[in-house]
């Protein structure tokens, strides 16, 4: 589907709905002024956890999807 077709479909859906909650969610997503304006700051513990995860990944200390699913099922 082309960008023009997507725009037309989106405009049509917007014109059909009266759902204010939907508009409140959509508006920041489509306005450039809000794009990227929210900066997340991580705590020291969060940064440490991310770094630990990166190190584990780099050294192959992770499970693939199917392996993880099996381990989760065995825990439950």
pLDDT digits (tens, 9 = 90+) for 10-33: 899 899 988 888 888 888 888 766
Q: What is the model's pLDDT at position 55?
A: 96
CA 20 to chain centre: 22
pLDDT for residue 34: 53
Tell me which of 43 and 28 has the higher pLDDT: 43
Q: What is the pLDDT, as a whole number, of residue 4?
A: 92
Task: Phi first, then psi: give them for residue 59, nearest 5 degrees.
Answer: -100, 10
Confidence category of residue 39, pLDDT binned at 50, 70, 90: confident
Count CB atoms within 10 A of the CB of residue 3.
7
- Which pTM was predicted? 0.43
């Amino acid at each position: 589907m082309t960008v023009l077709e997507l725009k037309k479909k989106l405009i049509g859906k917007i014109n059909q709905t009266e759902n204010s909650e939907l508009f409140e969610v959509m508006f920041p997503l489509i306005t450039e002024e809000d794009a990227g304006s929210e900066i997340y700051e991580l705590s020291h513990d969060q940064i440490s956890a991310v770094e630990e995860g990166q190190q584990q990944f780099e050294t192959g200390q992770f499970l693939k999807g199917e392996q993880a699913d099996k381990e989760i099922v065995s825990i439950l």
